Amino acid sequence: MDQADVMSLDAQGTAPPIRRTAPTRRTHYKAEIASVSPNSSRNTFDQYETCFLGVSLENSNFTTPKLTSMVKWISRRFGRCTVLIGDSIHRLTLESTQGMPPDHARERALRLGRRFVEAEVKVFDEYRESTDFTFLTCGEVQAGERYAEFHGKLRAFFDEDEAFRSSVESFGHAYHRKRADGISEAEWEERIRVSSDYFLEEFAIFACLKERGLPVMVYPGSFSTLSEIAKGEHPGAPEELRDLVVVSLHLKGR
């Protein structure tokens, strides 16, 4: 789940309801495969019974029409799917882009996660006859001991391996470069640091899900570092990430 565009607070500093993206001419979408990592799994990934769908909060790729296209695509290929709600890690996006205090950012991120499920559960219910959809939050995964172990390994790998560190940081550079006007060098460096923290936490969560028997990740976008790991380019990464199949979807408007 890449870092998402975020909403501002209202005048009282409280979270407004989730707002829908302004209507466009395209209200129907078709999900198509953009890439599969490793490439050797492109024609075999759907032989697995189960997958997980990563959901980024406040992200334009998760409006109801786009979400529906992904759920429909999954329902044709997998018997079970865990919907991973990126709630707790979204606090880092809020801290980085809105300057929210950590406690405030975490509370808001968890609330946004609950609201997403409440707002979109009907999309998943429509396809439950073919696929068993269950919900899991990043916060729930991060509460486990295995998460802490994976995160510690990834943090050490990030500190020790220049190629891995450069790959993770380059993703943050690409994201924040579009939003860098007028910020100081110190603030820029802080945003890159927080972005790296985001991805390390996220990757540790993915490793936990792979260990729990979810071998395929589905997401509407690219994960350059994660795809590199799946291709074998970062052999020091946890085995669970090296064995993960990453399916990136393209959502085509119709």
CATH at 166? 3.40.50.11710
Which residues of the chain have a pLDDT value below 70? 1-26, 175-182
Whether this model's pTM surpasses 0.85:
yes
> How far, in Å, CA of 187 to CA of 177, rounded?
12
User: Is 243 part of any domain?
Assistant: yes
Q: Give the count of domains, the chain.
A: 1
Q: Is residue 158 part of a domain?
A: yes
Q: What is the pLDDT of residue 182?
A: 64
pLDDT for residue 97:
82
What's the pLDDT tens digit per position in 160-173?
999 999 999 987 77
Whether 17 maps to a domain, the answer reads no
User: The sheet that has 80-85: what strands, in order across it?
Assistant: 29-37, 245-253, 216-219, 50-55, 80-85, 132-137
Q: Is 166 a domain residue? A: yes
Residue 111 falls inside a structural domain: yes
- Whether 14 is covered by a domain: the verdict is no
Q: Would 159 be classed as within a structural domain?
A: yes
Give the per-residue pLDDT at 14: 37
Residues 4-34: b if buried by 16+ CB within 10 A, e if exposed: bebbeeeeeeebeeeeeeeeeeeeebebeee
* Parent domain of 241: 29-253
Which residues face 30 on adjacent strands? Answer: 252
Asked, for residue 118, whether it belongs to a domain, the answer is yes
